[in-house]
Structures are given as structure tokens and as C-alpha cells.
Amino acid sequence: MLFGNAQIECFGPDDVVRLRRAGRAAAATLAHVAARLIPGASTADIDRWVREDTARRGGLPSQLGYHGFPAAVCTSVNDVVCHGIPSPRVRLREGDIINVDVTTQLDGFHGDTSATFAIGAISADAQHVIETARRCRDAGIAVVRARARLGDVGAAVDELARALGCSVVREFGGHGIGRTMHAEPHIAFTGTRGRGLRLRAGMALTIEPMINLSSPEVVFDGDGWTVRTADGSLSAQFEHTVLVTSDGCEVLTGGM
Ligand code: MF3
Ligand code: CO
Ligand code: CO
């Protein structure tokens, strides 16, 4: 059903079954990658693992060819904030952190999830930005429920990031998801409580704040995709796809 001027779909039971399957497939592929991340692996290896595992599950990598994106997965290392392009020239080294963002299309529906991983022993700063990003994602999820407003979600995430001495990237946010990878609404991870779109049961959304260790400013690489922190400091991100329910939400990409 589409509601009023918001034009945001609320999914019924049959579609929710498909959303769950797509979310589970994306989460399983992310876990498949996680188990293989070691020093010496290249981000092109990750791309291959994602293609193989997604196909094994009967899915398609949603990101491949999306607005011309040249790979099946985004691999964002250290100061790369998001949309890193896998490459045989980028090899993981002890001490790196890497966000792997997997989106799977299965039976006409999409599931989208990411996590940031440590390669071997990492610095205290790296641990801090990873932990902050995970907690910020979970703080946003904790606010999602029917009748909550998007400003409530953004404020909760931004306040926690600041309290932990980090910052929220402004240029990118979450999104509605379902029959397309990216749908309305746009979800900012800053905002004012009591403002913004009111959520309804049956909406599917992603909660995926990008957290920088210091300044929130970002710069774009010449490849047209890769986004980096302007000051070269570390960035981390975690993402779940969630379904809004009357008293909270169901995490569709969890359980791995
Ligand atoms: N999965 C990303 C997200 O969380 C989308 C990246 S679009 C791509 O929204 F084209 F860069 F793959
Ligand atoms: Co997303
Ligand atoms: Co994603």
C-alpha cells in the first residue's frame, strides 16, 4: 500500500516473507566474507566471494552496475568512508579496518547490510571508531517503531556519536528498501526529535550511519565513487535492513 503524499510502501505479509529471505541472504553472504578476511587477501577477492556466494543463494548482487558501479560489493578500507571499489591492487594488511557492504536481490526484493572488520591487531583508535559505529547503528535501530519520527532516529545516532567523540557523515544516509535497493525515504543520521517523517508498520528501511573518528568532512576520489575522510582519519560503518513494527522493528539482516 502507498500512503498519502509520503509515497512510501508498507509491505504486507507475502512481501515481508520475501524481504526476510533477501535480508537473510545478504547477511549470510556478509558472514561468508567475514570468515575469509585475512592479511594478504585483496578487495577483488572479496568481490569474487560475494559474487560466488550470492549466486549460490539464488540471488543477484544489487550493487553490480548500479548507476554504473563496477563491482558486486563495496569495500572501504581505513579512511575510505564508503563506496570503495574492489581492486586486486588493494591488499589487506594487519592493522587495517574494512567495511564490506553487501546488497542482495532475491525473488524481486533487496536486503542490504554492512559491517566493519579488523584485520589482525588494530589500534585503539580503530577499535574506538568501529565500536562507536556499531553502537550508533544499534542506537538508531532502538528508536525505530511505528509512530516514531525520522528526526528521533537521527538525533539518537548523532548524540551518541558526539558523546563518544566521533562524528556523523552528513552526505550519505539510510534509505527505504524493498523492490528497489534505494527507495524513499532518505534517512539522515542527524536531526531533531519530533521532526521528520512519521514511521508506519510495514515500512522497510536501512539504518547505516557512517562514523568518522574526527571531522565529518568527506572528499571524493577521482574514480567518481570512492569517498574518503577529508582529514585522512579513520571511518567505520554498520548497516542493517529493518522492518518497522507497531512496537519496534524486526532486523531483517541480523542473526549472523
Ligand atoms: N549498499 C549501499 C547502501 O548501503 C549502496 C551502495 S551503491 C553502489 O546503500 F553503487 F555504490 F554500490
Ligand atoms: Co544501504
Ligand atoms: Co549497504
Q: What domains can you pick out in the chain, each with its CATH number?
A: 10-251 (3.90.230.10)
Cα–Cα dist 240/217, whole Å: 24
The 10s digit of each residue's pLDDT in 121-140 is 999 999 999 999 999 999 99
Residue whose Cα lies nearest atom 2 of ligand 1: it is 101
Residue whose Cα lies nearest atom 8 of ligand 1: it is 63
At 7 the pLDDT is 79
For residue 213, give the 3-state DSSP assignment: coil
Is pLDDT above 60 for 101? Answer: yes
Cell of residue 53, nine digits? 556466494
Is pLDDT above 50 for 4? Answer: no
Mean pLDDT of 25-34: 98
Helix (H) or strand (E) run with residue 27 in it: helix 13-34
Q: Which residues contact 56 (CB under 8 A, 6 or more apart)?
A: none
Strand stretches in 6-73, DSSP E: 60-61
Between strands 60-61 and 97-106, the pairing is antiparallel
Mutational test site, ligand 1, from 33, 51, 74, 110, max ligand atoms within 8 Å of CB = 74
Cell of residue 28, nine digits? 549470510
Rounded (5°) CA angle 130-158-25: 50
Mean pLDDT of 200-223: 98
- pTM, two decimals, is 0.97
Residue type, 109: F
Mutational test site, ligand 1, from 67, 82, 101, max ligand atoms within 8 Å of CB = 101
47 lines ligand 1 (CB under 6 A): no
For residue 1, give the 3-state DSSP assignment: coil
Task: Compute how many other C-beta atoms are within 10 angstroms of the C-beta atom of residue 68.
Answer: 7
Mutational test site, ligand 1, from 30, 83, 172, 223, max ligand atoms within 8 Å of CB = 83
Is pLDDT above 60 for 5? Answer: no
What ligand 1 atom has the least distance to the C-alpha of 239? 4
Cα–Cα dist 96/104, whole Å: 26
239 lines ligand 1 (CB under 6 A): yes
The 10s digit of each residue's pLDDT in 137-175 is 999 999 999 999 999 999 999 999 999 999 999 999 999
Residue whose Cα lies nearest atom 12 of ligand 1: it is 63
Residue whose Cα lies nearest atom 4 of ligand 1: it is 112
